[in-house]
Amino acid sequence: MWFDTLFNHPADAYRTGTLLFANVVEPLWWFIGAGIVITAIAASVVVGRHTQALAWWQRTIIAGLQAAVALVVIGLLAGPALQTTTLQPGANSVAILIDTSGSMGFPNVASDPGQTRLDAAVDLLQQHLILKLSDLTEVALFTFDTSAVRRSADEETIDGRLAAGTETNLIASTASVLDSFKGAPLAAVIVLSDGADNGSNSSPDMAALAAHGVPVHTIGFGPRSLPGEVQLADVQLAADAPPASRVTAHLVIEHTGSGEAVVRVRDGGTLLAAHRVQLRPDTPTVRTEIVFDSGNAGIRELSFELEPPPGDVLAQNNQIQRLLTVNERRRRLLYLEGEPRWEYKFIRRAIAGDKVLELVSWLRTTDRKTYRQGVSNEDELVSGFPPDLQTLYGYDVIILGSLAATSLNRQQHEWLESFVAERGGSLLALAGRQALTDGGWDVQPLAAALPITLDRESGPTYGPASGIVRPTRDGLVSPLTQLADGEGVNAWATLPSLGDHQRLGALKPAATTLLELVQGEAISPLLVTQPYGLGTTAVLATATTWRWQMRTPPDDPRHGLFWRQLLRQLAEMAQRQKNVDLANDAGGIVVHVAVRNKLFEPATDVSASAVITHPDRTETQLSLAATDVPGVLGARYVPGVPGVYRVDVAIEDAAGKETITRFVRTGVANREYFRPVQDEPLLRRMAQATGGRFWSPEDVAGITAALTFAGSGIRAVALLPLWNMPACFLLLVLLKLGEWGLRRLWGRL
């Protein structure tokens, strides 16, 4: 307000306008004239009789003040003015979007639970915005949560303070309003919101918003923090898992409190796992993991629950539901071993009878003889290594034992590398006399894929050793290395020590160490893994895990658990020939099918259809159409009622017909309870990206000026005179008062 009084016009006029001098026709002459006048005044002061008694610096100050007065007067005589544009009154619209999602029903300030954010927003709208803006433009009012809806100002949905939306598509709703005004003169969009953008159709695409060229002004409601609030912000979990395997879920807890929280995962009413998490004030975001058993084949409706420490504000954001499909699709493993040894026996024994893993092994018993086990027919591996790439790609995991590199030819070595890189399979290299560097693998293509460097050394890297196994921080939570419920490090610490070790080269940048071997003070990597191409490689620097079976009581399951878990997860990580992905967004259930041929190239001649079974057991047929991506088909289905939908996708390609079943839950829980504070940064980003401004309700008075002088719509050029602004006259008075004061001080009035 003071700015407008002093300078005659709002700051926005200066921000957007261009300064010009209306009376100046020939600027050069003006500069010369002004220079002469100012020089003359200054000279008369410096050399004049009346100032001879002053010191030279005192004369200089007086001369400067008089010259400044002359400069201001000359400037005013030049006719200063601002050239800007202003809204053409009555010719434009302003769209006001008011957020009516559930979170707007929360208290606007923590200290006053009686006034909701929507109350505050509607009050601001009705008592200020509409009154101010209606003189300037036509006001188009919208409410939004999932999507924007046009309203009249007196509708109950606004005045009745109903904040009922279960999710908010803030940016998408704003974009849709902008779209609806395409071609119409829209001066600006004003969004009254707490900034929650949690909808399934939420989009961070600010650039698309900015492309409309209309400034979006945002006004934020709600507290910026809720002391003591704890919420389970996210749970990340694989869509499916093999039966009876250990599954790791990654949880994100956001909080402004402190104390001990407990996270639990339940299947229906059955508690699957629980563990404690310490919340500290200096870590507002805590990432933790919970490991549980996948159980038998079928669908798991999992509930992840957070029991917060005392002081939590909202209880509704402490639970998240997830689905887990447990399927028994067989995974084929190929184990190539160069010598009969105990590790081979006990790996086979550990996964014997497993419902998921199908271990096919090829063992060199003598220099000229091999022994095959687990083959599906008489021809499998009859000539040793798989005869062609297609057969090799039929396996999900390859285990390399103590097999000299010279056992394979050049092409077979290249196939092994491409098995990981292109087929996306998993490869596990075990320790042994003929493994890794000792076996000559350092000069083979596979060396590039392994997570460690294979450096030729003068002596053997493999030999007897004694040490215990310890999981790293990554190993404790990795699905590859899970031994038992809640035991963590203890489950490993009580295992018998190993009897051998292979010294590994340096870890590659993408490598992750999951297990370490502790030999006194020395710690060496034991199980290291890394992604490579489309697949995964791992190195286990021991071949005496069989001691975990033979040196523990017969009912100790850890050896079997270790191997089943490791191999199942490696198999899970391998790319599949046929993939079905389900997503649930505002547009419905999206079904995507990706099909590859036996060489794992995108399949060309593919058709797919789906049967969607509704929660009430009725079925809907759905045809999938090819997409722009080769080998990918897709379709969308809009479900009627919320619930769990079963989707059976039948895929037909050159290899035959296969049906894959997936589940998806629609009608997600109320997202409004999550992140219940004002997201001011998002509101600021929206405003900045579009040329608008973020306002707090307290300083929103200036929004009219901001709309008048800046924005889009039909606008008129305006020339705003500045010569009469009080600030100039105040300046002249101050200059003369200053001179008078100095002269009086120096006794030379």
Partner 1 sequence: MHLPSFVLLALLAHTASAMEVNVPTDLTLVNLTRVEYDSAGSEAYYWHEGRLWARWETDYPQAEHNFAKRLGELTRLQTARVPIKRRLTDSDLGDFPLIYMSDMGYASFTPEEAEALRAYLDNGGFLWADDFWGDAEWANFERFMHRVLPGNHWREVPIVHPIFHTVFEHEEMPQIPAENFARPWSTTSEPAWVHRPPAGSLERASMRGYFDEDGRLMVIGTHNTDVADGWEREAYGQWYFEHFSTKSYRLGVNVFTYVLTH
Q: Which residues bind partner 1 (CB under 8 A)?
A: 338-342, 344-346, 348-349, 352-353, 363-367, 369, 371, 373, 433, 462-464, 499-500, 543-544, 546-547, 549-554
| Euclidean distance between CA atoms 360 and 17, whole angstroms | 79
Closest approach of partner 1 to the CB of residue 329, in Å: 23
Alpha helices in 554-646 (DSSP H): 558-573
The CA-atom distances, in angstroms, between 576 and each of 119, 236, 425, 699 are: 53, 21, 9, 57
Closest approach of partner 1 to the CB of residue 405, in Å: 15
Closest approach of partner 1 to the CB of residue 441, in Å: 18
Q: Are 570 and 426 in contact (CB under 8 A)?
A: yes
Closest approach of partner 1 to the CB of residue 464, in Å: 5
Closest approach of partner 1 to the CB of residue 567, in Å: 18
Closest approach of partner 1 to the CB of residue 391, in Å: 23
Joined tokens for residue 294: 């996948």
Dihedral angle computed from the Cα positions of residues 41, 45, 46 and 51, in that order, rounded to the nearest 10 degrees: 180
Nearer to partner 1 (CB atom), residue 497 or residue 607: 497
To 10 degrees, what angle do helices 680-690 and 170-180 make?
30
The rounded Cα 410 to chain-centroid distance in angstroms is 43
Dihedral angle computed from the Cα positions of residues 335, 339, 340 and 342, in that order, rounded to the nearest 10 degrees: -80
| Euclidean distance between CA atoms 300 and 449, whole angstroms | 36
Nearer to partner 1 (CB atom), residue 142 or residue 344: 344
Closest approach of partner 1 to the CB of residue 340, in Å: 4
| Euclidean distance between CA atoms 470 and 518, whole angstroms | 7
Q: Are 82 and 719 in contact (CB under 8 A)?
A: yes
Phi, psi of 636 (to 5 degrees): -125, 140
Strands (E), 169-245: 186-193, 216-220, 230-236, 240-241
DSSP string computed for 168-183: --HHHHHHHHHHHTTT
Cβ neighbours of residue 580 under 8 Å, at least 6 residues apart? 591, 592, 593, 647, 649, 651, 660, 662
Closest approach of partner 1 to the CB of residue 498, in Å: 8
> Assign residue 331 a region: left if phi > 0, alpha if psi is -120 to 50, beta otherwise?
beta
| Euclidean distance between CA atoms 678 and 195, whole angstroms | 6
Closest approach of partner 1 to the CB of residue 455, in Å: 21
The closest alpha carbon to 544, from 490, 489, 491, 502, belongs to: 502
Q: Are 567 and 357 in contact (CB under 8 A)?
A: yes
Closest approach of partner 1 to the CB of residue 364, in Å: 5
| Euclidean distance between CA atoms 9 and 410, whole angstroms | 82
Nearer to partner 1 (CB atom), residue 371 or residue 740: 371
| Euclidean distance between CA atoms 224 and 677, whole angstroms | 5
The CA-atom distances, in angstroms, between 536 and each of 360, 423, 481, 666 are: 19, 10, 15, 33
Nearer to partner 1 (CB atom), residue 306 or residue 495: 495
Closest approach of partner 1 to the CB of residue 480, in Å: 23
**C-alpha angle with apex 511: 506 to 516, nearest 5 degrees?**
75
Nearer to partner 1 (CB atom), residue 4 or residue 339: 339
Closest approach of partner 1 to the CB of residue 634, in Å: 45
Beta-ladder partners of 19: 82
Nearer to partner 1 (CB atom), residue 363 or residue 527: 363
Nearer to partner 1 (CB atom), residue 128 or residue 348: 348
The closest alpha carbon to 643, from 411, 301, 161, 143, belongs to: 301
**Burial of residue 57 (number of CB atoms within 10 Å: 0-12, 13-18, 19+):** exposed
Closest approach of partner 1 to the CB of residue 551, in Å: 4
Joined tokens for residue 612: 């969607």
Nearer to partner 1 (CB atom), residue 557 or residue 697: 557
Q: Which residue has the tokens 């910026």?
A: 224
Closest approach of partner 1 to the CB of residue 502, in Å: 10
